[in-house]
Amino acid sequence: MTSSPVAGGDPTTPPADPVPAAVDPATAAPVPRDAAFWAKRVTALQLGELPPEAINLNVTGKRVVGPIQGFGKLWQKTYRVELHGVDTAPADVIATWKQAFGSFWPPSGRFYGPLTAIAPGDVALLNLAVPGGVKLSTGILVLYADDESFSFMTPEGHMFAAWITFSAAVHDGVTAAQAQVLLRANDPLYELAMPLVIQRREDRFWRQTLANLARHLGVEEPEVTMTAVCVDRRRQWSRAVNVWHNAGIRSVLYAAAAPLRALGAATRRGGGSAGG
């Protein structure tokens, strides 16, 4: 897997579904050998059952967006940790990572995904702590997953229009785990905050995640490296309208309205008791 999961076409569109049985195999287009590893075509995201504490905003009904649909400069960031002193195959690293993905996150983030290992087509809710004590609610789609890598794609309103690819491989006899992000800030407000807050927090988040994974696998003092390359310095002003979906703004408004929601709930309870 590379940071651009879909080659030779629209990067936001997974390969076509396998050919139905009713189609004559002699005339049908061949099914890609890796078709089972890709998510089916998705028009709007849908979440499953969530715990009561999860803040479910900005995911259901949203479309996924890749770097082509983003606003800001195009960046490729690679976070990597070598698993020195640990005899483990890349497939085992990925199996562990997929099985307990959210447990390796720093405390500032919560990953509400499936109870089983990550699989193509899964949709997960993310609650991320941001400055000001607000929880930003957004999500991801699992675009691709095989034995040695898996990729996420972000929805409208997320901080980034991005592909995020997690992989493991052997280099010079040492297994290494890696997270690679190809991203643009989704709208002008996020782009403005990139050099001020977002980039540093994002780098710290993935460094901590990889360090936690390495420690779980038996590395005593993991060293996480990071490289960042600005692939395209241009901003896509035609995508400035993405600000309408900004999950940060919507999450702040949701938090600000909490007293009103509490008052409304109390009023309903009082009315119900009076009526009884």
pLDDT band at 168 (very low <50, low <70, confident <90, very high): very high
117-to-10, 96, 97, 113, 193 alpha-carbon distances in Å: 28, 9, 9, 9, 33
Question: What gap in Å lies between CA 96 and CA 141, rounded to an integer?
Answer: 19
pLDDT band at 19 (very low <50, low <70, confident <90, very high): very low
**């703004």: which residue's tokens?**
249
Q: What is the pLDDT of residues 253-271, one digit of tens each?
A: 888 887 776 776 667 766 6
Burial of 29 (C-beta count, 10 Å sphere; 0-12/13-18/19+): exposed
pLDDT computed for residue 222 by the predictor: 97
Question: What gap in Å lies between CA 137 and CA 8, rounded to an integer?
Answer: 33
- CATH of range 55-255; options 3.40.50.10420, 3.10.129.10, 3.90.1300.10, 3.30.530.20: 3.30.530.20
Range ranked top by mean pLDDT from 47-56, 76-85, 250-259: 76-85
| Residue 253 contacts residue 55 (beta carbons within 8 Å) | no
Q: What is the pLDDT of residues 216-242, one digit of tens each?
A: 999 999 999 999 999 999 999 999 999
Strand partners, 176: 82, 169
Question: What gap in Å lies between CA 47 and CA 114, rounded to an integer?
Answer: 10
Report the pLDDT averaged over residues 188-193: 97
Closest C-alpha among 226, 206, 220 to residue 86? 220
pLDDT computed for residue 75 by the predictor: 98
pLDDT computed for residue 115 by the predictor: 67
Report the pLDDT averaged over residues 137-142: 95
Q: What is the pLDDT of residues 80-114, one digit of tens each?
A: 999 999 999 999 999 999 999 999 999 989 999 88
Report the 10 Å Cβ neighbour count for 66: 23
Report the pLDDT averaged over residues 156-164: 97
Question: What gap in Å lies between CA 182 and CA 76, rounded to an integer?
Answer: 5
pLDDT band at 11 (very low <50, low <70, confident <90, very high): very low
Report the pLDDT averaged over residues 14-25: 50
SS (H, E, C) the chain: CCCCCCCCCCCCCCCCCCCCCCCCCCCCCCCCCCHHHECCCCCCCCCCCCCCCCCCCCCCCCCEECHHHCCCCEEEEEEEEECCCCCCCHHHHHHHHHHCHHHHCCCCEEEECCCCCCCCCCEEEEEEEECCCEEEEEEEEEEEECCCEEEEEEECCCCEEEEEEEEEEEECCEEEEEEEEEEEECCHHHHHHHHHHHHHHHHHHHHHHHHHHHHHHCCCCCCEEEEEEEEECCCCHHHHHHHHHCHHHHHHHHHHCHHHHHHHHHHHHHHHHHHC
pLDDT computed for residue 256 by the predictor: 85
| Residue 190 contacts residue 88 (beta carbons within 8 Å) | no
pLDDT computed for residue 114 by the predictor: 80
Is a pLDDT exceeding 90 seen at residue 190?
Answer: yes
Mean predicted lDDT score pLDDT of the chain: 87
Is a pLDDT exceeding 60 seen at residue 131?
Answer: yes
| Residue 3 contacts residue 169 (beta carbons within 8 Å) | no
pLDDT band at 24 (very low <50, low <70, confident <90, very high): low
